[in-house]
Structure 1
Amino acid sequence: MLENLEINLIVKKELSQLVNKHKKLFDKFDNKTVAISGATGLIGGQMVLSFALYNQLYGKNVNIIALIRNNEKAKNLFGKLYSSISFIEADVREITKIEHSIDIIFHTAAVTQSSFMVEYPVDTLDIMYQGTKRLLEIARQHRSQFVYISSMEAFGITDPNKSIIKEEDIGYIDLTSIRSTYSEGKRVCELLTTAYAAQYNLKTHNVRLAQSFGPGSDRNDNRVFSYFANSALQNKDITIKSSGKSMGNYVDIRDAITAILVVSQQGEVGKTYTAVNEDSTMSIDELALLVSTRFSSKKSKVIIENNEIEKQKFAPDTTMKLSSKKLRTIGWHPDYTITNMFDDMISSWR
């Protein structure tokens, strides 16, 4: 049934296993309509694929509406599943209505490239706020549920005296830094969804993801996990342009999907939940050493450059270790480790 779908074989295999293991989560959406923004991005794209594979595997009828900006990219990503999905090709800031009735909107669309955030800070903030408000208005029109996919960058620079950071432990964001448009924008959008819940009685939720990657991640992504892996595979040195001591918090893309679905079904309205695998938390230089050891037998040397100019392109160093305790109390737990994430990501590249 799943043969010749013309999608990445490792992604198909991993997402099919995910759907099989967590079928009860997907069953809740049978005969319902889900709208997913950012549907050619990593999170949105794999959510669309998961629902489409669920339909294929079990003969179910989840109606999928995918919001995209590039139709050709969608065709390449979804292969023969493309015909089973409804698409809206538009800038998320320009969508004013969706004709079909909608039961839930998963808003995953986001700017992800730091270089874009620095070069186009106004656009970065505008895409987040205006896009989220547009989709909240559509949710209001349909009286649909709304799940906003936020980022751990919303925490800012947290209190270094706190060993564990929970959802309410919001820290400092430097409003003089143009790179802050992303982190402050995430905070504003979280607040906006909560405001819609309070004022318009919408069923909204926020899922604050740690850095997510795994099978299906773009090999050309400019974030550290892709750069480290590419360097190690080519036995090239891994250059860290910061102190390397900033703590990294991670969650596998597959665990991120189940977190989003659990929150949509069990989460408290208007609240925020953090998805992270605490066992995968480590400093950036530790992550680089792990990748170098695992994929190049340490032939890739880890070099700390601490470039003050380059550091401005990235989120500031942080000591925070995130907690998923709140999310675990409503039934979620991570299944994949940091080594699973790298192993399966690289397998999907090959």
Structure 2
Amino acid sequence: MNFVEQRPGEPQQVGYTKERVLVTGGAGFIGSHLCERLLAEGAEVLCVDNYYTGRRDNIRALLDDPSFEVLRHDVTFPLYTEVDRIYNLACPASPVHYQFDPVQTTKTSVLGAVNMLGLAKRLKVPILQASTSEVYGDPAVHPQQEGYWGNVNPIGIRSCYDEGKRCAETLFFDYHRQHRVDIKVVRIFNTYGPHMHPEDGRVVSNFIVQALTGQPITLYGDGTQTRSFCYVDDLVDGLMRMMGSASQTTGPVNLGNPDEFTMRELADMVRELVGSAVPIVHRPLPADDPRQRKPDIATARETLGWTPKVKLREGLGRTIAYFDALLSDAPRGAEMVALSA
């Protein structure tokens, strides 16, 4: 991979030669967008997914590209292949999916990290770990900086994901110190956009599907808890900039949009953009659900020259259009309505 010289603060310009890039979780929400972007930049892409939450529809448009290869594989088992770079995105990321089989979720984070790090060590190639803002738990520091160690319940219902990702980070840095593996660790904050799973239980997809199908919008708690939402194109740009950064840039680096919204503000914006007057119903706040979540992205700005560009209203408009088209497909739409009821 060749990187063009740039001045600080300028956008990273990446010129790919025909490198072979492995993306685990490549049929998932973020992974599918990353695969598409890598192909556009001239890479050969090996997409690995076990389709637990990833969907073939997400990568259908890429299947005829001769530079794109798909392998059905579970990262909890070793993978033997030859690649030049590795993006490790494999893991269910929404509470509905990662709590369904919490033991497997932990295995995916921990054993998946061991197997991908082992591959990177053998091949002597750089590897990027998609970690998460959930490593901060229900934060006592706001906004969250990378130096904050977090406030995580180690035995709660979210622990399979939170602690699994924390352990994966530990493994990445131990492989770096002990085996000199070239690692990159990013902590991804709430991300949204096309290819989100319509039944993933995340707030953006929940609100949009409910509004489009005329169902009441479910608001957990009093609606004053906050999140910061990053559009997927911005997030993918950050991932690629991180992979292209200097070898000494290991992270962790926060990637997210620092614009903060309450859940009630998000619900009202979705209803406005959909043009729906569906009511809002309140439900109890789930256990260990963070009250605040906002990234401090000073490190990403200074190190990667990265700042998200897509505002929430614009990104929601694109995402609503995606779900509207998806729901217009009669058989699939009927199934989604039933599942979200």
Tell me the residue number matched to 1:16: none
Q: Supply the distance in 2 between the matched residues of 1:114 and 1:252 (Cα, whole angstroms).
A: 20
Q: CA deviation at 1:65?
A: 1.3
Runs (5+) with no aligned partner, structure 1: 1-21, 56-61
CA RMSD of aligned residues (A): 2.3
Letter in 2 for 1:276: G
SS at structure 2 position matched to 1:65: strand
Q: CA deviation at 1:217?
A: 2.4
1:150 and 2:131 equivalent? yes
1:214 and 2:198 equivalent? no
1:78 and 2:52 equivalent? no
Tell me the residue number matched to 1:38: 25
1:115 and 2:102 equivalent? no
Matched-pair contact (CA < 8 Å) for 1:52–1:81? no
1:224 and 2:206 equivalent? no
The 10-residue stretch of structure 1 (38-47 or 232-241) with the greater mean CA deviation from structure 2: 232-241
1:343 and 2:317 equivalent? yes
Tell me the residue number matched to 1:173: 152
The 3 A distance-change label for structure 1 pair 136 and 224 is same
Which string of whole-angstrom CA distances, capped at 9 and with x for unpartnered residues, describes residues 294-326 of structure 1?
2235x122222226xxx13xx523224221111
Instruction: Show the 5 A alignment for 1:294-333.
Output: 294-297=273-276, 299-306=277-284, 311-312=286-287, 315-330=288-303, 331-333=305-307
Runs (5+) with no aligned partner, structure 2: 1-9, 326-341
TM-score w.r.t. the length of structure 1 is 0.82
Q: Supply the distance in 2 between the matched residues of 1:217 and 1:25 (Cα, whole angstroms).
A: 28
Q: Supply the distance in 1 between the matched residues of 2:142 and 2:74 (Cα, whole angstroms).
A: 40
Q: Supply the distance in 1 between the matched residues of 2:151 and 2:51 (Cα, whole angstroms).
A: 36
The 3 A distance-change label for structure 1 pair 177 and 76 is closer
Instruction: Show the 5 A alignment for 1:1-350.
Output: 25-27=13-15, 29-55=16-42, 62-70=43-51, 73-74=55-56, 77-79=59-61, 80-98=63-81, 100=82, 102-159=83-140, 162-266=141-245, 268-279=248-259, 281-297=260-276, 299-306=277-284, 311-312=286-287, 315-330=288-303, 331-349=305-323, 350=325
Compare the two structures and name the one with the higher helix fraction: 1
Matched-pair contact (CA < 8 Å) for 1:232–1:292? yes
The 3 A distance-change label for structure 1 pair 289 and 92 is same
SS at structure 1 position matched to 2:41: helix
